[in-house]
Structure 1
Protein backbone atom coordinates (compact mmCIF):
# COMPACT_ATOMS: atom_id res chain seq x y z
CA UNK A 1 0.00 0.00 0.00
CA UNK A 2 1.20 3.55 -0.67
CA UNK A 3 2.35 5.44 2.38
CA UNK A 4 0.17 8.50 2.94
CA UNK A 5 1.56 11.61 4.58
CA UNK A 6 -0.10 13.75 7.27
CA UNK A 7 1.10 16.83 5.36
CA UNK A 8 1.46 17.70 1.69
CA UNK A 9 4.88 19.16 2.52
CA UNK A 10 6.31 15.67 2.93
CA UNK A 11 5.67 12.79 0.59
CA UNK A 12 6.93 9.24 0.16
CA UNK A 13 7.60 7.37 -3.09
CA UNK A 14 8.78 3.73 -3.13
CA UNK A 15 10.31 2.12 -6.21
CA UNK A 16 12.86 -0.67 -6.76
CA UNK A 17 13.30 -1.11 -3.01
CA UNK A 18 14.09 2.56 -2.45
CA UNK A 19 11.81 4.74 -0.32
CA UNK A 20 12.24 8.42 -1.03
CA UNK A 21 11.09 10.85 1.63
CA UNK A 22 10.72 14.10 -0.28
CA UNK A 23 10.66 17.49 1.43
CA UNK A 24 8.18 19.58 -0.52
CA UNK A 25 7.71 23.03 0.99
CA UNK A 26 8.82 25.13 -1.94
CA UNK A 27 7.09 28.31 -0.72
CA UNK A 28 9.52 28.37 2.24
CA UNK A 29 12.60 26.97 0.45
CA UNK A 30 11.90 23.66 2.16
CA UNK A 31 11.93 25.05 5.68
CA UNK A 32 10.39 22.73 8.28
CA UNK A 33 7.33 23.82 10.23
CA UNK A 34 5.90 22.16 13.33
CA UNK A 35 3.46 20.00 11.37
CA UNK A 36 6.31 18.66 9.28
CA UNK A 37 8.42 17.79 12.33
CA UNK A 38 5.44 15.98 13.85
CA UNK A 39 4.78 14.11 10.61
CA UNK A 40 8.29 12.67 10.34
CA UNK A 41 8.12 9.96 13.08
CA UNK A 42 4.98 8.20 11.75
CA UNK A 43 6.23 8.46 8.17
CA UNK A 44 9.62 6.95 9.02
CA UNK A 45 7.94 4.22 11.11
CA UNK A 46 5.70 3.33 8.15
CA UNK A 47 8.71 3.15 5.83
CA UNK A 48 10.60 1.02 8.33
CA UNK A 49 7.66 -1.40 8.53
CA UNK A 50 7.17 -1.64 4.75
CA UNK A 51 8.90 -4.75 3.36
CA UNK A 52 9.11 -3.15 -0.08
CA UNK A 53 11.34 -0.39 1.26
CA UNK A 54 14.92 -1.55 1.81
CA UNK A 55 16.67 1.81 1.98
CA UNK A 56 15.44 5.32 2.79
CA UNK A 57 16.61 8.39 0.87
CA UNK A 58 15.76 11.80 2.34
CA UNK A 59 15.96 14.71 -0.11
CA UNK A 60 14.27 17.81 -1.37
CA UNK A 61 11.53 17.27 -3.92
CA UNK A 62 12.71 17.76 -7.53
CA UNK A 63 13.90 21.30 -8.08
CA UNK A 64 13.97 22.15 -4.38
CA UNK A 65 16.88 22.40 -1.90
CA UNK A 66 17.39 19.82 0.82
CA UNK A 67 16.17 21.95 3.75
CA UNK A 68 16.76 25.58 4.70
CA UNK A 69 16.11 24.88 8.39
CA UNK A 70 13.18 25.66 10.65
CA UNK A 71 10.37 27.91 9.47
CA UNK A 72 11.39 31.22 11.05
CA UNK A 73 7.84 32.60 10.82
CA UNK A 74 6.85 30.21 13.64
CA UNK A 75 9.10 32.07 16.09
CA UNK A 76 6.28 34.57 16.55
CA UNK A 77 3.50 31.96 16.70
CA UNK A 78 4.01 28.39 17.92
CA UNK A 79 7.42 29.25 19.43
CA UNK A 80 6.47 32.61 20.90
CA UNK A 81 6.29 31.32 24.50
CA UNK A 82 8.63 29.14 26.55
CA UNK A 83 6.02 26.34 26.62
CA UNK A 84 5.60 26.57 22.88
CA UNK A 85 9.36 26.54 22.40
CA UNK A 86 9.74 23.42 24.52
CA UNK A 87 6.93 21.64 22.65
CA UNK A 88 8.60 22.55 19.36
CA UNK A 89 11.97 21.23 20.55
CA UNK A 90 10.31 18.00 21.66
CA UNK A 91 8.79 17.50 18.21
CA UNK A 92 12.13 18.36 16.65
CA UNK A 93 13.99 15.84 18.80
CA UNK A 94 11.43 13.10 18.19
CA UNK A 95 11.85 13.59 14.44
CA UNK A 96 15.63 13.26 14.67
CA UNK A 97 15.32 10.18 16.89
CA UNK A 98 12.86 8.55 14.48
CA UNK A 99 15.24 8.79 11.52
CA UNK A 100 18.17 7.67 13.64
CA UNK A 101 16.23 4.64 14.92
CA UNK A 102 15.19 3.46 11.44
CA UNK A 103 16.51 -0.08 11.10
CA UNK A 104 17.08 0.32 7.36
CA UNK A 105 19.99 2.19 5.75
CA UNK A 106 19.30 5.91 5.40
CA UNK A 107 20.82 8.35 2.93
CA UNK A 108 20.64 12.14 3.00
CA UNK A 109 20.80 13.35 -0.61
CA UNK A 110 21.70 17.01 -0.21
CA UNK A 111 21.44 19.70 -2.85
CA UNK A 112 21.22 23.44 -2.30
CA UNK A 113 20.69 24.64 1.26
CA UNK A 114 21.26 22.33 4.22
CA UNK A 115 20.81 24.70 7.14
CA UNK A 116 19.98 24.44 10.84
CA UNK A 117 17.38 21.74 11.33
CA UNK A 118 18.13 20.53 7.82
CA UNK A 119 21.70 19.83 8.86
CA UNK A 120 20.23 18.02 11.86
CA UNK A 121 18.12 15.82 9.57
CA UNK A 122 21.18 15.02 7.48
CA UNK A 123 23.27 14.31 10.59
CA UNK A 124 20.97 11.51 11.73
CA UNK A 125 21.15 9.70 8.39
CA UNK A 126 23.72 6.93 7.91
CA UNK A 127 25.19 8.26 4.67
CA UNK A 128 25.31 11.84 3.40
CA UNK A 129 25.93 12.73 -0.23
CA UNK A 130 25.91 16.27 -1.54
CA UNK A 131 25.82 18.00 -4.87
CA UNK A 132 28.87 20.18 -5.41
CA UNK A 133 26.95 23.43 -4.93
CA UNK A 134 25.37 22.52 -1.59
CA UNK A 135 25.85 24.86 1.40
CA UNK A 136 25.80 23.97 5.08
CA UNK A 137 25.37 25.98 8.29
CA UNK A 138 23.88 25.96 11.76
CA UNK A 139 22.97 29.64 12.33
CA UNK A 140 21.62 29.22 15.87
CA UNK A 141 24.09 31.80 17.22
CA UNK A 142 22.56 34.48 14.98
CA UNK A 143 19.02 33.62 16.04
CA UNK A 144 19.43 33.23 19.80
CA UNK A 145 18.26 29.62 19.58
CA UNK A 146 19.48 27.06 22.10
CA UNK A 147 20.08 23.51 20.86
CA UNK A 148 19.21 20.81 23.43
CA UNK A 149 21.78 18.08 24.11
CA UNK A 150 19.48 15.50 22.49
CA UNK A 151 19.89 17.28 19.14
CA UNK A 152 23.48 18.39 19.66
CA UNK A 153 24.71 14.83 20.15
CA UNK A 154 23.89 13.96 16.55
CA UNK A 155 25.95 16.85 15.20
CA UNK A 156 28.87 15.91 17.44
CA UNK A 157 28.58 12.28 16.32
CA UNK A 158 28.70 13.41 12.68
CA UNK A 159 31.62 15.87 12.81
CA UNK A 160 33.27 15.58 16.23
CA UNK A 161 33.38 18.08 19.06
CA UNK A 162 35.96 20.43 17.49
CA UNK A 163 33.99 20.92 14.28
CA UNK A 164 30.74 21.22 16.23
CA UNK A 165 32.25 24.04 18.28
CA UNK A 166 33.24 25.82 15.07
CA UNK A 167 29.84 25.36 13.44
CA UNK A 168 27.94 26.75 16.42
CA UNK A 169 30.40 29.42 17.53
CA UNK A 170 30.86 31.00 14.10
CA UNK A 171 27.50 30.16 12.42
CA UNK A 172 29.36 30.42 9.13
CA UNK A 173 28.44 28.57 5.98
CA UNK A 174 30.45 25.60 4.75
CA UNK A 175 30.79 24.64 1.12
CA UNK A 176 30.29 21.03 0.10
CA UNK A 177 34.08 20.42 -0.13
CA UNK A 178 34.47 21.89 3.38
CA UNK A 179 31.69 19.65 4.71
CA UNK A 180 33.41 16.67 3.07
CA UNK A 181 36.74 17.60 4.68
CA UNK A 182 34.97 17.93 8.06
CA UNK A 183 33.76 14.34 7.75
CA UNK A 184 30.10 15.32 7.48
CA UNK A 185 29.77 13.95 3.94
CA UNK A 186 30.77 10.63 2.44
CA UNK A 187 30.84 12.00 -1.09
CA UNK A 188 30.48 15.18 -3.15
CA UNK A 189 29.09 14.76 -6.66
CA UNK A 190 28.90 17.17 -9.58
CA UNK A 191 25.46 18.70 -10.00
CA UNK A 192 24.73 17.06 -13.35
CA UNK A 193 25.56 13.60 -12.00
CA UNK A 194 23.98 13.93 -8.58
CA UNK A 195 20.53 12.37 -9.07
CA UNK A 196 21.96 9.40 -10.99
CA UNK A 197 24.64 8.85 -8.34
CA UNK A 198 22.07 8.86 -5.54
CA UNK A 199 19.84 6.42 -7.42
CA UNK A 200 22.75 4.08 -8.16
CA UNK A 201 23.89 4.08 -4.54
CA UNK A 202 20.39 3.52 -3.17
CA UNK A 203 19.56 0.71 -5.59
CA UNK A 204 22.93 -0.94 -4.94
CA UNK A 205 22.17 -0.97 -1.21
CA UNK A 206 18.58 -2.13 -1.78
CA UNK A 207 19.82 -5.16 -3.75
CA UNK A 208 21.79 -6.50 -0.77
CA UNK A 209 20.48 -8.78 1.98
CA UNK A 210 18.13 -6.76 4.23
CA UNK A 211 18.87 -8.75 7.41
CA UNK A 212 22.61 -8.32 6.86
CA UNK A 213 22.21 -4.59 6.36
CA UNK A 214 20.13 -4.31 9.51
CA UNK A 215 22.68 -6.23 11.56
CA UNK A 216 25.57 -4.27 10.08
CA UNK A 217 23.90 -0.93 10.77
CA UNK A 218 23.24 -1.87 14.40
CA UNK A 219 26.81 -3.10 14.93
CA UNK A 220 28.41 -0.05 13.32
CA UNK A 221 26.27 2.29 15.40
CA UNK A 222 27.19 0.39 18.56
CA UNK A 223 30.91 0.29 17.70
CA UNK A 224 30.91 4.03 17.01
CA UNK A 225 28.86 4.77 20.16
CA UNK A 226 26.36 6.71 18.07
CA UNK A 227 23.26 8.14 19.76
CA UNK A 228 20.57 5.54 20.34
CA UNK A 229 22.83 2.65 19.38
CA UNK A 230 21.56 -0.83 20.32
CA UNK A 231 23.19 -2.96 22.97
CA UNK A 232 25.92 -5.49 22.19
CA UNK A 233 23.47 -8.32 22.95
CA UNK A 234 20.95 -6.89 20.49
CA UNK A 235 23.63 -6.62 17.81
CA UNK A 236 24.72 -10.21 18.37
CA UNK A 237 21.12 -11.39 18.08
CA UNK A 238 20.67 -9.58 14.78
CA UNK A 239 23.87 -11.11 13.39
CA UNK A 240 22.77 -14.58 14.51
CA UNK A 241 19.46 -14.14 12.73
CA UNK A 242 21.29 -13.76 9.42
CA UNK A 243 22.75 -17.27 9.64
CA UNK A 244 19.30 -18.78 10.19
CA UNK A 245 17.77 -16.96 7.23
CA UNK A 246 16.70 -18.04 3.76
CA UNK A 247 18.76 -15.12 2.45
CA UNK A 248 21.92 -16.74 3.83
CA UNK A 249 21.14 -19.87 1.83
CA UNK A 250 20.32 -17.76 -1.24
CA UNK A 251 23.56 -15.81 -0.93
CA UNK A 252 25.65 -18.98 -0.80
CA UNK A 253 23.75 -20.57 -3.68
CA UNK A 254 24.08 -17.46 -5.86
CA UNK A 255 27.80 -17.30 -5.16
CA UNK A 256 28.35 -20.92 -6.14
CA UNK A 257 26.13 -20.57 -9.22
CA UNK A 258 27.83 -17.29 -10.20
CA UNK A 259 24.59 -15.33 -10.45
CA UNK A 260 23.11 -12.27 -8.78
CA UNK A 261 21.30 -13.16 -5.54
CA UNK A 262 17.62 -12.42 -5.04
CA UNK A 263 17.10 -11.59 -1.41
CA UNK A 264 13.70 -11.50 0.28
CA UNK A 265 14.58 -10.31 3.78
CA UNK A 266 13.61 -13.67 5.30
Structure 2
Protein backbone atom coordinates (compact mmCIF):
# COMPACT_ATOMS: atom_id res chain seq x y z
CA UNK A 1 0.00 0.00 0.00
CA UNK A 2 1.37 3.39 -1.01
CA UNK A 3 2.48 5.85 1.66
CA UNK A 4 1.28 8.68 -0.56
CA UNK A 5 -1.98 9.97 -2.00
CA UNK A 6 -2.34 10.46 -5.76
CA UNK A 7 -1.19 13.70 -7.35
CA UNK A 8 -3.93 16.34 -7.52
CA UNK A 9 -3.98 19.38 -9.80
CA UNK A 10 -3.97 22.70 -7.92
CA UNK A 11 -7.24 24.54 -8.43
CA UNK A 12 -6.99 27.96 -10.04
CA UNK A 13 -3.57 27.35 -11.57
CA UNK A 14 -4.00 27.64 -15.32
CA UNK A 15 -0.80 27.32 -17.32
CA UNK A 16 -0.17 25.15 -20.38
CA UNK A 17 3.61 25.17 -19.98
CA UNK A 18 3.75 24.22 -16.28
CA UNK A 19 1.63 21.59 -14.50
CA UNK A 20 1.20 22.27 -10.76
CA UNK A 21 0.17 19.34 -8.55
CA UNK A 22 0.35 18.38 -4.89
CA UNK A 23 0.05 15.19 -2.90
CA UNK A 24 0.10 14.22 0.76
CA UNK A 25 2.07 11.66 2.69
CA UNK A 26 -0.49 9.58 4.56
CA UNK A 27 1.29 10.02 7.88
CA UNK A 28 1.59 13.77 7.34
CA UNK A 29 3.32 16.25 5.07
CA UNK A 30 2.71 17.53 1.56
CA UNK A 31 4.80 17.80 -1.61
CA UNK A 32 4.26 20.26 -4.46
CA UNK A 33 5.33 19.28 -7.99
CA UNK A 34 5.95 21.66 -10.89
CA UNK A 35 6.26 19.82 -14.20
CA UNK A 36 7.74 21.55 -17.25
CA UNK A 37 5.34 20.60 -20.03
CA UNK A 38 6.75 21.63 -23.43
CA UNK A 39 8.21 18.31 -24.61
CA UNK A 40 7.58 19.22 -28.26
CA UNK A 41 10.14 22.04 -27.76
CA UNK A 42 12.55 19.90 -25.70
CA UNK A 43 11.10 21.81 -22.76
CA UNK A 44 12.61 25.12 -23.84
CA UNK A 45 10.95 27.71 -21.61
CA UNK A 46 8.75 30.48 -22.98
CA UNK A 47 7.27 33.42 -21.09
CA UNK A 48 4.29 31.37 -19.91
CA UNK A 49 6.64 28.72 -18.48
CA UNK A 50 8.73 31.26 -16.56
CA UNK A 51 5.58 32.86 -15.17
CA UNK A 52 4.20 29.45 -14.20
CA UNK A 53 7.37 28.44 -12.40
CA UNK A 54 7.49 31.72 -10.51
CA UNK A 55 3.84 31.58 -9.48
CA UNK A 56 3.94 27.88 -8.57
CA UNK A 57 7.02 28.27 -6.38
CA UNK A 58 5.39 31.21 -4.61
CA UNK A 59 2.11 29.37 -4.03
CA UNK A 60 3.86 26.26 -2.69
CA UNK A 61 6.08 28.35 -0.44
CA UNK A 62 3.04 30.05 1.11
CA UNK A 63 1.17 26.78 1.73
CA UNK A 64 1.85 25.66 5.33
CA UNK A 65 0.85 22.09 4.46
CA UNK A 66 3.64 21.75 1.89
CA UNK A 67 7.12 20.77 3.06
CA UNK A 68 9.00 20.12 -0.20
CA UNK A 69 8.85 21.37 -3.81
CA UNK A 70 9.85 19.18 -6.77
CA UNK A 71 10.63 20.55 -10.24
CA UNK A 72 10.47 17.89 -12.95
CA UNK A 73 9.46 17.50 -16.59
CA UNK A 74 7.39 15.67 -19.17
CA UNK A 75 9.26 14.13 -22.08
CA UNK A 76 12.86 12.92 -22.29
CA UNK A 77 14.59 16.22 -21.43
CA UNK A 78 14.58 18.49 -18.37
CA UNK A 79 15.08 21.34 -20.81
CA UNK A 80 17.40 23.23 -23.11
CA UNK A 81 17.07 26.80 -21.82
CA UNK A 82 14.90 29.64 -23.01
CA UNK A 83 12.79 29.39 -26.16
CA UNK A 84 14.35 32.14 -28.25
CA UNK A 85 11.74 31.82 -30.99
CA UNK A 86 8.79 32.17 -28.59
CA UNK A 87 10.44 34.86 -26.49
CA UNK A 88 10.85 35.17 -22.73
CA UNK A 89 9.69 37.73 -20.17
CA UNK A 90 10.92 39.49 -17.04
CA UNK A 91 9.88 36.52 -14.89
CA UNK A 92 12.88 34.59 -16.23
CA UNK A 93 15.27 36.57 -14.01
CA UNK A 94 13.04 36.04 -10.96
CA UNK A 95 12.84 32.23 -10.91
CA UNK A 96 16.27 31.52 -9.42
CA UNK A 97 15.86 34.23 -6.72
CA UNK A 98 12.44 32.76 -5.88
CA UNK A 99 14.04 29.35 -5.36
CA UNK A 100 16.73 30.87 -3.14
CA UNK A 101 14.18 32.81 -1.05
CA UNK A 102 11.86 29.83 -0.66
CA UNK A 103 11.38 28.42 2.85
CA UNK A 104 10.87 24.90 1.50
CA UNK A 105 13.64 22.67 0.09
CA UNK A 106 13.44 22.38 -3.71
CA UNK A 107 14.41 19.22 -5.60
CA UNK A 108 15.20 19.05 -9.33
CA UNK A 109 14.49 15.68 -10.99
CA UNK A 110 16.55 15.58 -14.19
CA UNK A 111 16.54 13.30 -17.20
CA UNK A 112 18.13 14.04 -20.55
CA UNK A 113 19.40 17.49 -21.46
CA UNK A 114 19.70 19.96 -18.59
CA UNK A 115 21.11 22.91 -20.50
CA UNK A 116 21.18 26.68 -20.13
CA UNK A 117 18.52 28.11 -17.82
CA UNK A 118 17.51 24.64 -16.66
CA UNK A 119 21.09 23.86 -15.65
CA UNK A 120 21.45 26.87 -13.39
CA UNK A 121 17.90 26.37 -12.10
CA UNK A 122 18.89 22.80 -11.19
CA UNK A 123 22.09 23.83 -9.43
CA UNK A 124 20.15 26.53 -7.58
CA UNK A 125 17.82 23.84 -6.19
CA UNK A 126 18.77 22.25 -2.87
CA UNK A 127 18.93 18.74 -4.31
CA UNK A 128 19.33 17.44 -7.86
CA UNK A 129 18.48 13.83 -8.63
CA UNK A 130 19.85 12.88 -12.05
CA UNK A 131 19.03 9.97 -14.28
CA UNK A 132 21.82 8.23 -16.16
CA UNK A 133 20.65 10.02 -19.33
CA UNK A 134 21.25 13.49 -17.85
CA UNK A 135 23.58 15.94 -19.62
CA UNK A 136 24.49 19.21 -17.89
CA UNK A 137 25.84 22.35 -19.52
CA UNK A 138 25.54 25.93 -20.72
CA UNK A 139 25.01 27.18 -24.26
CA UNK A 140 24.66 30.93 -23.67
CA UNK A 141 28.03 32.03 -25.08
CA UNK A 142 27.31 30.04 -28.25
CA UNK A 143 24.36 32.31 -29.01
CA UNK A 144 25.51 35.55 -27.38
CA UNK A 145 23.55 35.19 -24.13
CA UNK A 146 25.85 35.87 -21.14
CA UNK A 147 23.20 35.28 -18.42
CA UNK A 148 23.10 37.48 -15.32
CA UNK A 149 26.00 37.87 -12.92
CA UNK A 150 24.55 35.82 -10.10
CA UNK A 151 23.56 32.92 -12.33
CA UNK A 152 27.20 32.64 -13.35
CA UNK A 153 28.84 33.48 -10.01
CA UNK A 154 26.66 31.08 -8.02
CA UNK A 155 27.98 28.16 -10.07
CA UNK A 156 31.32 28.59 -8.30
CA UNK A 157 29.64 27.78 -4.97
CA UNK A 158 28.42 24.52 -6.52
CA UNK A 159 31.31 23.27 -8.67
CA UNK A 160 34.23 25.59 -7.80
CA UNK A 161 35.84 28.33 -9.86
CA UNK A 162 37.73 26.14 -12.32
CA UNK A 163 34.80 23.85 -13.16
CA UNK A 164 32.48 26.87 -13.27
CA UNK A 165 34.66 28.36 -15.98
CA UNK A 166 34.62 25.03 -17.81
CA UNK A 167 30.84 25.26 -17.90
CA UNK A 168 30.59 28.90 -18.92
CA UNK A 169 33.75 29.73 -20.88
CA UNK A 170 34.05 26.47 -22.85
CA UNK A 171 30.37 25.45 -22.87
CA UNK A 172 31.54 21.94 -22.10
CA UNK A 173 28.68 19.52 -21.47
CA UNK A 174 28.96 16.96 -18.67
CA UNK A 175 27.47 13.49 -18.48
CA UNK A 176 25.44 12.49 -15.44
CA UNK A 177 28.47 10.84 -13.82
CA UNK A 178 30.69 13.83 -14.60
CA UNK A 179 27.98 16.09 -13.18
CA UNK A 180 27.97 14.02 -9.98
CA UNK A 181 31.75 14.30 -9.67
CA UNK A 182 31.55 18.06 -10.31
CA UNK A 183 28.80 18.61 -7.74
CA UNK A 184 25.96 19.41 -10.14
CA UNK A 185 23.81 16.61 -8.74
CA UNK A 186 23.51 14.69 -5.48
CA UNK A 187 22.94 11.23 -6.90
CA UNK A 188 22.72 9.43 -10.25
CA UNK A 189 20.23 6.59 -10.68
CA UNK A 190 18.69 4.74 -13.60
CA UNK A 191 16.08 6.98 -15.18
CA UNK A 192 13.26 4.68 -14.08
CA UNK A 193 14.28 5.05 -10.42
CA UNK A 194 14.30 8.86 -10.28
CA UNK A 195 10.80 9.22 -8.85
CA UNK A 196 11.55 6.72 -6.10
CA UNK A 197 14.77 8.53 -5.16
CA UNK A 198 12.95 11.87 -5.04
CA UNK A 199 10.28 10.31 -2.85
CA UNK A 200 12.92 9.12 -0.37
CA UNK A 201 14.39 12.62 -0.09
CA UNK A 202 10.91 14.10 0.42
CA UNK A 203 10.20 11.52 3.10
CA UNK A 204 13.41 12.40 4.96
CA UNK A 205 12.69 16.14 4.86
CA UNK A 206 9.07 15.79 5.98
CA UNK A 207 10.24 14.05 9.16
CA UNK A 208 12.23 17.16 10.17
CA UNK A 209 11.11 20.36 11.93
CA UNK A 210 9.75 22.68 9.16
CA UNK A 211 10.64 25.97 10.88
CA UNK A 212 14.16 24.68 11.52
CA UNK A 213 14.51 23.58 7.89
CA UNK A 214 13.41 27.07 6.74
CA UNK A 215 15.99 28.78 8.94
CA UNK A 216 18.85 26.47 7.97
CA UNK A 217 17.93 26.73 4.30
CA UNK A 218 18.14 30.52 4.40
CA UNK A 219 21.37 30.33 6.39
CA UNK A 220 23.04 28.80 3.34
CA UNK A 221 22.40 32.12 1.57
CA UNK A 222 24.94 33.67 3.96
CA UNK A 223 27.64 32.84 1.40
CA UNK A 224 26.45 35.94 -0.48
CA UNK A 225 26.02 38.17 2.59
CA UNK A 226 28.30 39.95 5.06
CA UNK A 227 29.07 37.38 7.76
CA UNK A 228 27.79 39.54 10.62
CA UNK A 229 24.39 39.78 8.92
CA UNK A 230 24.01 36.00 8.86
CA UNK A 231 24.59 35.44 12.57
CA UNK A 232 20.97 35.80 13.64
CA UNK A 233 18.84 34.05 11.02
CA UNK A 234 16.88 32.28 13.74
CA UNK A 235 16.01 35.59 15.37
CA UNK A 236 15.08 37.21 12.06
CA UNK A 237 12.89 34.38 10.80
CA UNK A 238 11.44 32.87 13.99
CA UNK A 239 11.79 35.07 17.04
CA UNK A 240 10.40 32.40 19.37
CA UNK A 241 11.87 29.45 17.50
CA UNK A 242 12.72 27.30 20.52
CA UNK A 243 9.23 27.76 21.98
CA UNK A 244 7.47 26.99 18.70
CA UNK A 245 5.06 24.02 18.45
CA UNK A 246 7.25 22.46 15.73
CA UNK A 247 10.30 22.38 18.00
CA UNK A 248 8.25 21.08 20.92
CA UNK A 249 6.91 18.23 18.77
CA UNK A 250 10.44 17.33 17.65
CA UNK A 251 11.71 17.17 21.23
CA UNK A 252 8.69 15.25 22.49
CA UNK A 253 8.98 12.68 19.70
CA UNK A 254 12.67 12.20 20.51
CA UNK A 255 11.99 11.44 24.16
CA UNK A 256 9.00 9.23 23.30
CA UNK A 257 11.16 7.29 20.80
CA UNK A 258 8.78 7.85 17.88
CA UNK A 259 8.87 9.65 14.55
CA UNK A 260 7.65 13.25 14.83
CA UNK A 261 4.57 14.43 12.92
CA UNK A 262 4.89 18.09 12.05
CA UNK A 263 1.91 17.93 9.70
CA UNK A 264 -1.12 17.61 11.98
CA UNK A 265 -3.92 20.07 11.24
CA UNK A 266 -3.15 21.87 14.49
CA UNK A 267 0.52 22.44 13.65
CA UNK A 268 -0.23 23.44 10.05
CA UNK A 269 -2.70 26.06 11.28
CA UNK A 270 -0.15 27.45 13.74
CA UNK A 271 2.31 27.99 10.86
CA UNK A 272 -0.11 30.14 8.87
TM-score between the two structures when normalised by the length of structure 1: 0.85
8 Å contact 1:105–1:217 — kept in the other structure?
Answer: yes
SS at the partner of 2:160? helix
Q: CA deviation at 1:4?
A: 3.6
In the alignment of these two chains, the number of paired residues is 250
Residues in 1 aligned to 2:167 and 2:139: alpha-carbon distance in whole angstroms: 8
8 Å contact 1:14–1:52 — kept in the other structure?
Answer: no
Q: Which residue of 1 aligns with 2:123?
A: 123
SS at the partner of 1:215? helix
Residues in 2 aligned to 1:105 and 1:259: alpha-carbon distance in whole angstroms: 24
SS at the partner of 1:103? coil
1:110-165: CA deviation from partner (whole Å, max 9, x where unpaired): 11110101102112211111112201110112212222213223323322221121
Per mean C-alpha deviation after superposition, the further-off stretch among 125-134 and 144-153 is 144-153
- In the alignment, structure 2 segments of 5+ residues that lack a partner are 1-8, 25-29
1:62-85: CA deviation from partner (whole Å, max 9, x where unpaired): x442122111323xxx47xxxxxx
8 Å contact 1:137–1:167 — kept in the other structure?
Answer: yes
Q: CA deviation at 1:247?
A: 1.8
Q: Which residue of 2 aligns with 1:8?
A: 16
- In the alignment, structure 1 segments of 5+ residues that lack a partner are 80-87
Q: CA deviation at 1:34?
A: 1.8
CA RMSD of aligned residues (A): 2.3
SS at the partner of 2:224? coil
State yes or no: 1:73 paired with 2:85: yes
Q: Which residue of 1 aligns with 2:193?
A: 193
Q: CA deviation at 1:6?
A: 4.4
Q: CA deviation at 1:240?
A: 5.2
Question: Pairwise mapping of residues 1-266 of structure 1 onto structure 2 (< 5 A)?
Answer: 2=10, 4-16=12-24, 17-61=30-74, 63-74=75-86, 78=87, 88=89, 90-222=90-222, 224-225=223-224, 231-238=230-237, 241-263=240-262, 264=267, 266=270
Residues in 2 aligned to 1:207 and 1:10: alpha-carbon distance in whole angstroms: 28
Q: Which residue of 2 aligns with 1:82?
A: none
Q: Which residue of 2 aligns with 1:85?
A: none
Q: Which residue of 1 aligns with 2:4?
A: none
